Amino acid sequence: MSDTAEILPIVPAGASVLRQVARRVEAAELPGLAGLLEQMAATMRAAPGVGLAAPQVGLGLALAVIEDRADYQARVPAERLLSMERTPVALHCLVNPVLEPVASAGEIELWEGCLSVPGYMGLVRRWRQVRVEAQDAAGAPVVIEARGWYARILQHEIDHLGGALYLDRLTPRTLCEARLWAASWADRPVDEAKRALGA
Protein backbone atom coordinates (compact mmCIF):
# COMPACT_ATOMS: atom_id res chain seq x y z
CA MET A 1 0.00 0.00 0.00
CA SER A 2 1.24 3.45 -0.91
CA ASP A 3 1.87 6.52 1.25
CA THR A 4 1.18 8.73 -1.79
CA ALA A 5 -2.52 7.85 -1.94
CA GLU A 6 -5.17 10.54 -1.43
CA ILE A 7 -5.99 11.40 2.18
CA LEU A 8 -9.71 11.01 2.83
CA PRO A 9 -11.77 13.10 5.27
CA ILE A 10 -12.54 11.25 8.51
CA VAL A 11 -16.21 11.20 9.47
CA PRO A 12 -16.86 12.54 13.00
CA ALA A 13 -19.12 11.08 15.66
CA GLY A 14 -22.72 12.06 15.00
CA ALA A 15 -22.68 10.96 11.35
CA SER A 16 -25.26 8.26 10.65
CA VAL A 17 -22.81 6.08 8.69
CA LEU A 18 -20.96 5.43 11.96
CA ARG A 19 -24.15 4.07 13.52
CA GLN A 20 -25.14 1.63 10.78
CA VAL A 21 -24.04 -1.96 10.32
CA ALA A 22 -21.58 -2.07 7.42
CA ARG A 23 -22.56 -4.33 4.56
CA ARG A 24 -20.58 -7.40 3.59
CA VAL A 25 -18.16 -6.97 0.69
CA GLU A 26 -18.76 -9.42 -2.16
CA ALA A 27 -15.84 -11.22 -3.81
CA ALA A 28 -16.56 -9.55 -7.16
CA GLU A 29 -16.10 -6.11 -5.54
CA LEU A 30 -12.62 -6.73 -4.17
CA PRO A 31 -10.55 -5.93 -7.30
CA GLY A 32 -12.13 -2.49 -7.43
CA LEU A 33 -11.34 -1.71 -3.79
CA ALA A 34 -7.53 -1.71 -3.99
CA GLY A 35 -7.40 2.07 -4.43
CA LEU A 36 -9.77 2.64 -1.52
CA LEU A 37 -7.66 0.46 0.77
CA GLU A 38 -4.56 2.46 -0.18
CA GLN A 39 -6.40 5.70 0.57
CA MET A 40 -7.59 4.33 3.92
CA ALA A 41 -4.04 3.30 4.85
CA ALA A 42 -2.70 6.73 3.89
CA THR A 43 -5.48 8.44 5.85
CA MET A 44 -4.80 6.30 8.93
CA ARG A 45 -1.07 7.10 8.78
CA ALA A 46 -1.65 10.81 8.26
CA ALA A 47 -3.97 11.08 11.27
CA PRO A 48 -1.95 9.26 12.75
CA GLY A 49 -3.83 6.20 13.99
CA VAL A 50 -3.45 2.45 14.35
CA GLY A 51 -6.68 1.46 12.63
CA LEU A 52 -9.35 2.84 10.33
CA ALA A 53 -12.68 1.32 9.30
CA ALA A 54 -14.50 2.15 6.07
CA PRO A 55 -17.44 3.81 7.88
CA GLN A 56 -14.94 6.34 9.24
CA VAL A 57 -14.39 7.57 5.69
CA GLY A 58 -18.12 7.55 4.98
CA LEU A 59 -18.49 4.13 3.39
CA GLY A 60 -20.70 1.47 4.94
CA LEU A 61 -18.50 -1.44 3.88
CA ALA A 62 -17.07 -4.19 6.08
CA LEU A 63 -13.44 -3.15 5.55
CA ALA A 64 -10.71 -1.99 7.90
CA VAL A 65 -7.00 -1.30 7.78
CA ILE A 66 -4.68 -1.79 10.76
CA GLU A 67 -1.06 -0.93 11.48
CA ASP A 68 0.79 -0.26 14.73
CA ARG A 69 4.22 0.97 13.71
CA ALA A 70 7.37 0.68 15.80
CA ASP A 71 7.96 4.42 15.45
CA TYR A 72 4.58 5.09 17.10
CA GLN A 73 5.58 2.87 19.98
CA ALA A 74 8.97 4.58 20.36
CA ARG A 75 7.09 7.54 21.88
CA VAL A 76 5.51 5.36 24.59
CA PRO A 77 7.41 4.49 27.79
CA ALA A 78 8.61 0.88 27.80
CA GLU A 79 6.77 0.14 31.04
CA ARG A 80 3.46 1.24 29.52
CA LEU A 81 4.10 -0.79 26.34
CA LEU A 82 4.62 -3.85 28.52
CA SER A 83 1.42 -3.28 30.52
CA MET A 84 -0.52 -2.81 27.26
CA GLU A 85 1.03 -5.95 25.73
CA ARG A 86 1.83 -3.76 22.73
CA THR A 87 4.17 -4.82 19.93
CA PRO A 88 4.43 -3.66 16.29
CA VAL A 89 1.76 -4.85 13.85
CA ALA A 90 2.40 -4.73 10.10
CA LEU A 91 -0.04 -2.96 7.80
CA HIS A 92 -2.89 -5.22 6.72
CA CYS A 93 -6.54 -5.04 5.79
CA LEU A 94 -9.54 -6.99 6.98
CA VAL A 95 -12.52 -7.73 4.77
CA ASN A 96 -15.75 -9.03 6.34
CA PRO A 97 -14.16 -9.78 9.72
CA VAL A 98 -15.91 -11.85 12.37
CA LEU A 99 -14.52 -11.66 15.89
CA GLU A 100 -14.71 -14.18 18.71
CA PRO A 101 -13.36 -13.40 22.18
CA VAL A 102 -11.07 -15.84 23.93
CA ALA A 103 -12.95 -15.51 27.21
CA SER A 104 -10.49 -17.64 29.16
CA ALA A 105 -7.86 -14.87 28.74
CA GLY A 106 -10.09 -12.41 30.59
CA GLU A 107 -10.58 -8.70 30.08
CA ILE A 108 -8.47 -5.59 30.57
CA GLU A 109 -9.38 -1.92 30.96
CA LEU A 110 -7.18 0.59 29.13
CA TRP A 111 -7.36 4.09 27.68
CA GLU A 112 -8.60 4.46 24.10
CA GLY A 113 -9.19 7.21 21.61
CA CYS A 114 -10.76 7.31 18.17
CA LEU A 115 -10.06 9.24 14.97
CA SER A 116 -13.81 9.94 14.70
CA VAL A 117 -13.84 11.41 18.23
CA PRO A 118 -10.69 13.56 18.05
CA GLY A 119 -9.22 15.12 21.14
CA TYR A 120 -10.62 12.74 23.74
CA MET A 121 -9.64 9.58 25.60
CA GLY A 122 -11.55 7.20 27.84
CA LEU A 123 -11.20 3.92 29.65
CA VAL A 124 -12.69 0.89 27.89
CA ARG A 125 -12.87 -2.69 29.13
CA ARG A 126 -12.20 -5.20 26.34
CA TRP A 127 -11.23 -8.82 25.85
CA ARG A 128 -7.51 -9.40 26.27
CA GLN A 129 -7.40 -12.02 23.49
CA VAL A 130 -9.50 -12.55 20.35
CA ARG A 131 -9.73 -14.70 17.24
CA VAL A 132 -10.75 -13.05 13.98
CA GLU A 133 -11.76 -14.76 10.75
CA ALA A 134 -11.71 -12.50 7.70
CA GLN A 135 -10.49 -12.15 4.13
CA ASP A 136 -7.51 -10.22 2.87
CA ALA A 137 -7.56 -7.71 -0.01
CA ALA A 138 -7.39 -10.55 -2.53
CA GLY A 139 -10.29 -12.43 -0.93
CA ALA A 140 -8.14 -15.16 0.63
CA PRO A 141 -9.31 -16.34 4.06
CA VAL A 142 -7.22 -15.25 7.05
CA VAL A 143 -7.37 -16.16 10.72
CA ILE A 144 -5.81 -13.84 13.29
CA GLU A 145 -5.10 -14.80 16.89
CA ALA A 146 -4.32 -11.57 18.75
CA ARG A 147 -3.59 -10.59 22.32
CA GLY A 148 -3.09 -7.32 24.16
CA TRP A 149 -3.15 -4.03 22.29
CA TYR A 150 -3.52 -5.68 18.87
CA ALA A 151 -6.62 -7.49 20.14
CA ARG A 152 -7.95 -4.11 21.33
CA ILE A 153 -7.36 -2.52 17.91
CA LEU A 154 -9.22 -5.37 16.23
CA GLN A 155 -12.16 -5.02 18.62
CA HIS A 156 -12.27 -1.25 18.16
CA GLU A 157 -12.26 -1.41 14.35
CA ILE A 158 -14.72 -4.31 14.12
CA ASP A 159 -17.02 -2.39 16.47
CA HIS A 160 -17.07 0.36 13.83
CA LEU A 161 -18.33 -2.17 11.30
CA GLY A 162 -21.21 -2.99 13.63
CA GLY A 163 -22.18 0.66 14.11
CA ALA A 164 -20.56 1.08 17.54
CA LEU A 165 -18.09 3.65 18.87
CA TYR A 166 -15.76 3.25 21.82
CA LEU A 167 -17.94 5.81 23.58
CA ASP A 168 -20.64 3.12 23.80
CA ARG A 169 -18.29 0.93 25.87
CA LEU A 170 -16.66 3.72 27.87
CA THR A 171 -16.26 3.28 31.60
CA PRO A 172 -18.60 5.97 32.96
CA ARG A 173 -16.97 9.25 34.08
CA THR A 174 -13.61 8.54 32.40
CA LEU A 175 -13.98 10.56 29.19
CA CYS A 176 -11.30 13.23 29.26
CA GLU A 177 -9.67 15.73 26.93
CA ALA A 178 -6.57 14.20 25.37
CA ARG A 179 -4.10 16.86 26.51
CA LEU A 180 -5.33 16.56 30.08
CA TRP A 181 -5.11 12.76 29.81
CA ALA A 182 -1.50 13.00 28.61
CA ALA A 183 -0.58 15.34 31.46
CA SER A 184 -2.54 13.66 34.25
CA TRP A 185 -3.35 10.01 33.59
CA ALA A 186 -1.28 8.49 30.77
CA ASP A 187 1.50 7.27 33.04
CA ARG A 188 -0.54 6.56 36.17
CA PRO A 189 -2.30 3.31 37.08
CA VAL A 190 -5.81 2.89 35.69
CA ASP A 191 -7.27 2.26 39.15
CA GLU A 192 -5.79 5.52 40.42
CA ALA A 193 -7.36 7.45 37.53
CA LYS A 194 -10.73 5.76 38.13
CA ARG A 195 -10.69 6.65 41.81
CA ALA A 196 -9.81 10.27 41.08
CA LEU A 197 -12.53 10.54 38.43
CA GLY A 198 -15.15 8.81 40.58
CA ALA A 199 -15.51 5.94 38.12
Q: Is 79 a catalytic residue?
A: no
Tell me the CATH class for 16-197. alpha beta
Residue 50 · residue 67 · CB < 8 Å: yes
Of the chain, the percentage scoring pLDDT greater than 90 comes to 88
pLDDT at position 27, please? 92
Tens digit of pLDDT for each residue in 116-141? 999 999 999 999 999 999 999 999 99
Catalytic residue among 29, 157, 177, 192: 157
Q: How far, in Å, CA of 27 to CA of 120, rounded?
A: 37
Would you state the pLDDT for residue 5?
Answer: 87
Burial of 199 (0-12, 13-18, 19+ CB in 10 A): middle
Domain boundaries, the chain: 16-197
pLDDT digits (tens, 9 = 90+) for 143-192: 999 999 999 999 999 999 999 999 999 999 999 999 999 999 998 999 99
- Cα torsion angle, 41, 46, 49, 52, sign: negative
Percent of the chain with pLDDT over 70: 98
| pLDDT value at residue 80 | 84
Q: Which of 70, 72, 66, 73 is nearest to 50 (CA)?
A: 66
Q: Is the pTM of this model over 0.85?
A: yes
